[in-house]
Amino acid sequence: MADDELTERERYWFDHLKAAQERNITLVEYAAEQGLKVKELYNRKSRFIKKGLMRSSVVAKDFVSVRKEMSSHCCVLLANGVRVEFGSSLTDRVIREILISASRLP
């Protein structure tokens, strides 16, 4: 669908969205200035994006890649002031024994 095939109502919203874009202001600001409902502007923009008449203002460069990794490092500070650090995978039983022994230290 080309933008010259818009209905009168679609053209109305399309022109408002283009005006906000050309002025380089947010839709929130534009809606307040024009007395429009911001939700309606965003809904219409979404429709135009889906129809291929507008591009999303969010581009891939706005995102960063995040990779979550499990840490194998653990640090425990006991009430007696002893600090115990684990740097590798241990069973629950071994960790329990280490913590009990460390908690008995003066």
Within a domain: 67: no
pLDDT at 68: 58
Residue 2 CB partners (closer than 8 Å, separation 6+):
53
Q: Examine residue 54 and state whether it is found in any structural domain, yes or no.
A: yes
Query: 55: domain range?
Result: 3-61
* 28 and 56 within one domain: yes
Which runs of consecutive H residues, i.e. helices, occur in the chain?
8-23, 27-34, 38-50, 92-103
Q: pLDDT value at position 1?
A: 56
Give residues with Cβ within 8 angstroms of 57, minimum separation 6.
none
55 and 11 housed in the same domain: yes
Residue 68, in any domain of the structure:
no
Along the 106 residues of the chain, how does pLDDT read in single tens digits? 566 689 999 999 999 999 998 998 899 999 999 999 999 999 999 999 998 888 876 555 555 666 656 667 788 888 888 888 887 777 778 888 888 888 888 8
Residue 66 included in any domain: no
What is the reported pLDDT for 33?
Answer: 95
